């Protein structure tokens, strides 16, 4: 219990830190954001008006405190481009990204852990080599290219899946149908890292005496591999799954752009291209928050998997 409370308390300063980082994005570099938004030919009056309207003419520390308090209360400001509340726009985009992230991670875990176990059971076999090549391709292929190849093959040539958009809300079969290619794109990217860790972690565990004992007392192979070996090899695998969420979220930004899907990633790229700073800041904050929450969950899972951590 103390472990959980300790870990939860640590979350608060990190959150304030991320808000500070997001604040700095707009303010850390020389020159006013007004000049960046309005262009270099903007008149002094229009710049002054812009700064006054957004409160950018106030002392920096005042702006910072204001920024942190509004972020803490869920007020991300108004979008420069549409004038709408950023939080409302983000709430509309979030479900699409969550769909993609969840589906992508499920695919990554199935491919990564599955291939990793198979490779570790028979190291240096043909199957192991094929698995390792797939893993290497997973980490080496840029996600925006593998996505395009899937579009060309399964969307344009074979016509099995739609290639653009995320589907209408409520139409579940359509949403799932449109999710297949993007989810495989991000899932494949992440599966390589998970496969490598599963393989090496399993190889280490399979070498232990208790595995030999389990085999010699006549237990079925599946039980030994899944119950005895995988459970003990799980901590590094869970760590790498938690860590690879960062890559997965980055992959999502790119994948949403390739498949012209709604979502936080596409929203962020558009906000940056339109120099819509409040929207970009809000979006970066929400994606980082997702990453932080996932890291928190990973740490809590450690406690469940390894009692030594829980009681440390």
Partner 1 sequence: MRDANYQKDKKTESGLKMLKRSPTAVIGLVIVLIVIFCGIFAPWISPYDPIKTDLYSRLKAPDKDHWLGTDKLGRDVLSRIIWGARVSLKVGVISVGIGMIIGVIIGLIGGYFGGITEKAIFSLVDLMLSVPPLLLALAIVATLGPGIGPVMTAVGISLIPIFARVARGSVLTVKEQNYVVSARALGASHLDIMLRHILPNILTPVIVMATLYCAFAIIMEAALSFLGIGIQPPEPTWGTILSHGQQHMRTAAWISTFSGLAITITVLGFNLLGDGLRDLMDPNMRHVIQTK
* 3-state SS assignment for residue 78: strand
For residues 258 and 181, the answer to whether their CB atoms sit within 8 Å is: no
**Smaller CB distance to partner 1: residue 50 or 291?**
291
Among 35, 239, 250, 298, binds partner 1 (CB under 8 A): 250
Residue 29 found at the interface with partner 1 (CB under 8 A): yes
Residue 141 found at the interface with partner 1 (CB under 8 A): yes
**Smaller CB distance to partner 1: residue 219 or 298?**
298
**Smaller CB distance to partner 1: residue 127 or 269?**
269
Q: How many residues bind partner 1 (CB under 8 A)?
A: 47
- Dmax over CA atoms of the chain, in Å, equals 85
Residue 246 found at the interface with partner 1 (CB under 8 A): yes
* 3-state SS assignment for residue 4: helix
Residue 287 found at the interface with partner 1 (CB under 8 A): yes
Of 105, 100, 129, residue with least CA distance to 115: 129
**Smaller CB distance to partner 1: residue 93 or 214?**
93
Helix (H) or strand (E) holding 223: helix 221-223
Residue 127 found at the interface with partner 1 (CB under 8 A): no
| Residues 265-285 as b or e (16 or more Cβ within 10 Å = b) | bbbbbebeeeebbbbbbbbbb
Give the dihedral of Cα atoms 277, 279, 285, 290; nearest 10 deg.
-150
For residues 167 and 183, the answer to whether their CB atoms sit within 8 Å is: no
Of 40-48, 92-100, 220-228, 276-284, which segment contacts partner 1 by CB under 8 A?
276-284
Using the structure block, give the residue that is written with the tokens 């990204």.
Answer: 97
CA angle 281, 285, 286 (to 5 degrees): 120
Of 61-69, 74-82, 140-148, 176-184, which segment contacts partner 1 by CB under 8 A?
140-148
Among 1, 156, 158, 312, binds partner 1 (CB under 8 A): 156
Residue 95 found at the interface with partner 1 (CB under 8 A): no
Residue 18 found at the interface with partner 1 (CB under 8 A): yes
Binding mask 255-274 for partner 1 (x = CB under 8 A): --xx---------xx--xx-
Of 53-61, 70-78, 164-172, 279-287, which segment contacts partner 1 by CB under 8 A?
279-287
Residue 148 found at the interface with partner 1 (CB under 8 A): yes
Using the structure block, give the residue that is written with the tokens 């039980």.
Answer: 223
Residue 46, both tokens = 């229009």
- What lies within 8 Å, CB to CB, of 295 at 6+ separation is 242, 245
Report the alpha-carbon distance of residue 107 to residue 173 in Å, rounded: 18
Binding site for partner 1 (CB under 8 A): 14, 17-18, 20-22, 25-26, 28-29, 36, 124, 136-137, 139-145, 148-149, 151-152, 156, 246-247, 249-250, 253-254, 257-258, 268-269, 272-273, 275, 277, 280, 284, 287-288, 291-292, 295
């Amino acid at each position: 219990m103390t472990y959980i409370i300790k870990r939860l308390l640590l979350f608060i300063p990190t959150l304030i830190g991320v808000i500070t980082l997001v604040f700095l994005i707009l303010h850390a570099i020389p020159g006013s954001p007004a000049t960046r938004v309005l262009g270099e030919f903007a008149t002094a009056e229009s710049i002054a008006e812009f700064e006054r309207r957004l409160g950018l003419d106030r002392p920096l520390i005042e702006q910072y405190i204001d920024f942190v308090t509004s972020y803490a209360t869920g007020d991300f400001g108004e979008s420069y481009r549409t004038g709408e509340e950023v939080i409302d726009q983000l709430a509309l985009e979030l479900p699409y990204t969550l769909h993609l992230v969840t589906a992508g991670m499920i695919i990554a875990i199935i491919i990564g852990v599955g291939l990793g176990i198979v490779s570790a059971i028979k190291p240096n076999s043909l199957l192991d080599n094929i698995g390792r090549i797939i893993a290497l391709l997973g980490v080496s292929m840029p996600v925006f290219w593998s996505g395009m190849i899937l579009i060309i093959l399964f969307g344009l040539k074979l016509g099995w899946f739609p290639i653009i958009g995320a589907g209408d809300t409520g139409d579940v079969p359509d949403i799932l149908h449109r999710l297949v290619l993007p989810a495989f794109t991000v899932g494949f990217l992440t599966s390589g890292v998970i496969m490598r860790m599963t393989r090496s972690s399993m190889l280490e565990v399979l070498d232990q005496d208790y595995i030999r004992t389990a085999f010699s007392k006549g237990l079925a192979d599946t039980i030994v591999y899944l119950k005895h070996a995988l459970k003990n090899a799980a901590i590094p695998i869970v760590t790498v799954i938690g860590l690879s969420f960062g890559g997965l979220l980055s992959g999502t930004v790119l994948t949403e752009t390739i498949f012209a899907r709604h979502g936080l990633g596409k929203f962020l790229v558009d906000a940056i291209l339109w120099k819509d700073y409040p929207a970009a800041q809000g979006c970066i904050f929400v994606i980082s928050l997702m990453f932080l929450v996932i890291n928190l969950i990973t740490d809590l899972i450690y406690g469940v998997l390894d009692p030594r951590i829980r009681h440390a």
